[in-house]
Amino acid sequence: MPRPSALDLATSVPEMVAGNGDAAPSDVESGDAAGAGVNVEAEARDSGVFEVIDDLDRDLVGLDPVKTRISEIASLLVVDMARRRFGLEAERPNLHMCFTGSPGTGKTTVAMRMAAVLHRLGYLARGHLVAVTRDELVGQYIGHTAPKTREILKRAMGGVLFIDEAYYLHRQENERDYGQEAIEILLQVMENQRSDIVVILAGYRDRMDQFFSSNPGMGSRIAHHIDFPDYDLDSLVAIARIMLDRQRYTFSAGAEPAFRELMSRRMTQPRFANARSVRNALERARLRQANRLVSDGRLLTRDDLMRIDAEDIYKSRWFSEAPDEAMLDERILPAG
């Protein structure tokens, strides 16, 4: 992925030369000699932000719009740091976010990387991630919700609070539901302690839109809305290769086309979860490979132990459950 374009602003930051009319020497912090400039890209590199973004690029296949948006946010913060060195103070950016998309599209992984970016740039004291759902925030009786929510917020201070399926916090149809109490506490903290915590809400896009419509105060506190698209078939196969490589496995020549066909079938079925479904399919393939090797009764080589064969894929139940053939024909063809 190319370096963020905003980091090229290094060349556009004006040199602060005393007496040139650009800025008075008193505007420059004592650590900067008069006339010194700032190389924004170098400062970003020194902070380690590039390492986090590069790791994100390696860890997640595709998602170019998501990666671009994360890079833009990082660039804004780097430039904001450079501005402060010249006395160009601005209000701290609102960093609360909403990640929308289907399960398994990398939302939690990106949230973890975002926490690391914010920590390295000094916007978060600890840079850890606390991931929760409604159950960790909302109580079941009067007086139970507030302490639960505050305890989670206490754990997340200095880092990122990631609330998955955040729309379940609001259940308008149940007048005895205590989710609204949790929302009100979150709203207060998101407004008054923006320098201490970043809140990321996540869930399906349509449901999050409904959630914000019902809770306009929450929507107004979210500065960055990032949509995570579903993976296409080529990306799912690429994800499988990465997962196998990390576990020291590999596809045989016939196994990768078989896995491609498996994914094309799985994509047409309910509860498909993108990368999670890839991981689950590979785990079951490993089980079938292990059973095959144990039953074989022969001496095994290193390659035998690493290789996933086509038969380990074709024994999946998805080959006995016929998908929509028209959808299958469309999905199984390689891109291009």
- CATH number of the domain within which 304 lies: 1.10.8.60
328 and 276, same domain (yes or no):
yes
Instruction: Return the pLDDT at 4.
Output: 42
Instruction: Return the pLDDT at 327.
Output: 44
Q: In the predicted model, is pLDDT for residue 191 greater than 60?
A: yes
Q: How long a stretch of residues is the chain?
A: 336
DSSP assignment of 223-251: -EEEEEPPP-HHHHHHHHHHHHHHTT-EE
> Which band of pLDDT confidence, cut at 50, 70 and 90, is reported for residue 178?
confident
Q: The dihedral of CA 163, 165, 171, 177: what is its sign? A: negative
38 within a domain of the structure (yes/no):
yes
188 and 243, same domain (yes or no):
no
Instruction: Return the pLDDT at 322.
Output: 54
Q: What is the CATH number of the domain that holds 190?
A: 3.40.50.300
* Residues of the domain holding 284: 233-332
257 and 139, same domain (yes or no):
no
120 and 217, same domain (yes or no):
yes
Burial 59-94 (b: 16+ CB within 10 A, else e): ebbbbeebbebbbebbbbbbbbbbeebbeeeeeeee
133 and 35, same domain (yes or no):
no
* pLDDT tens-digit map of 223-267: 999 999 999 999 999 999 999 999 999 999 999 999 999 999 999
Q: Packing angle between helix 255-266 and helix 275-296, nearest 10 degrees?
A: 140
22 within a domain of the structure (yes/no):
no
Domain count, the chain: 3
Instruction: Return the pLDDT at 12.
Output: 32
Amino acid identity, position 305:
L
In Å, how far are 223, 277, 335 from 190, measured between CA atoms?
Answer: 11, 34, 43
Please state the pTM of the whole predicted model: 0.78
- Distance between CA 54 and CA 50 in Å, rounded? 6
140 within a domain of the structure (yes/no):
yes
Strand ranges inside 256-315, DSSP E = 307-308
- Distance between CA 243 and CA 61 in Å, rounded? 11
24 within a domain of the structure (yes/no):
no
Instruction: Return the pLDDT at 60.
Output: 83
